[in-house]
Amino acid sequence: MSKVAIPMLSAYGAQIPVIGFGTSQLGDCGEIVATALKLGYRHIDTAWKYGTEKGVGEGMKASGVPRQDIFLVTKVSHEYLRAADFANSVEESLERLQTDVVDLLLIHWPNPRVPVAESVRALGRAKQLGLTRHIGVSVISTADAREHALNLGALTFVAKPIQNADTVQVLQLLACLHALGNGLHLVARRHFNHRGDDLLAAGIVGGARYEA
């Protein structure tokens, strides 16, 4: 079984494979994730909303790949951004993933009914407790990214779905992150069969890319 060779990105002390394996819409994906890891993938993306955390946990265990060699990402859904709900969601995710810590924990879309300050404090608390090594937010707009970053200086990653975004939108988001001046990294999330390769090939969008 041939393994893929995936370049690495260094950011905030993390070594992140620049191409990840997304699990959206994969359902019971334990065998699929195990196969992906055996093929050489080391960046696995999941989320509560995907319903694949249990399968990812099973796949990591079945693959035989040491947990420390995997960059694991999950997300807290917008339904659970109140502080108490957030903490419970993280604990449940870790249990399903069969791990004590994830490498990157994201807010999965802002919730207009929950104050940003409350949700980002809960995110920061998860990092303080050692439940995640890095934190960030999956955003829809540049304004969302700015508001979340200003509320939590420790925010390190902003994930942006770009399959439906044009070059101007992505450039506006990058300009916003640069203006904030705190070294935020953009993770470009997209399907490989969608447009957006021009952004990645030109180096406009850095970081990892994966189906999500």
β 21-22/14-17 pair status: unpaired
**What is the pLDDT, as a whole number, of residue 117?**
83
More confident residue, 66 or 145: 66
**What is the pLDDT, as a whole number, of residue 199?**
42
**What is the pLDDT, as a whole number, of residue 209?**
37
Q: What is the mean pLDDT of residues 162-168?
A: 51
CA pair distance 19, 7, nearest whole angstrom: 8
More confident residue, 7 or 39: 39
**What is the pLDDT, as a whole number, of residue 189?**
56
This prediction's pTM:
0.76
Over residues 89-100, the pLDDT tens digits come to 999 999 999 999
More confident residue, 148 or 6: 6
Q: What is the mean pLDDT of residues 114-125?
A: 87
Over residues 107-116, the pLDDT tens digits come to 887 788 888 8
**What is the pLDDT, as a whole number, of residue 5?**
72
Q: What is the mean pLDDT of residues 157-168?
A: 50
The set of catalytic residues is 50
CA pair distance 160, 192, nearest whole angstrom: 15
**What is the pLDDT, as a whole number, of residue 197?**
47
Please provide the distance, in angstroms rounded to a whole number, between the alpha carbons at the two ends of the chain.
Answer: 25
Listed in sequence order, the residues at least 6 apart from 69 whose beta carbon sits closer than 8 Å to its beta carbon are 42
Q: What is the mean pLDDT of residues 178-198?
A: 52
Over residues 132-160, the pLDDT tens digits come to 998 887 765 555 555 555 555 554 554 54
pLDDT class of 47 with cuts at 50, 70, 90: very high
β 14-17/71-77 pair status: unpaired
CA pair distance 141, 15, nearest whole angstrom: 27
More confident residue, 164 or 126: 126
**What is the pLDDT, as a whole number, of residue 90?**
96
**What stretch of H or E contains 132?**
strand 132-138
**What is the pLDDT, as a whole number, of residue 128?**
92
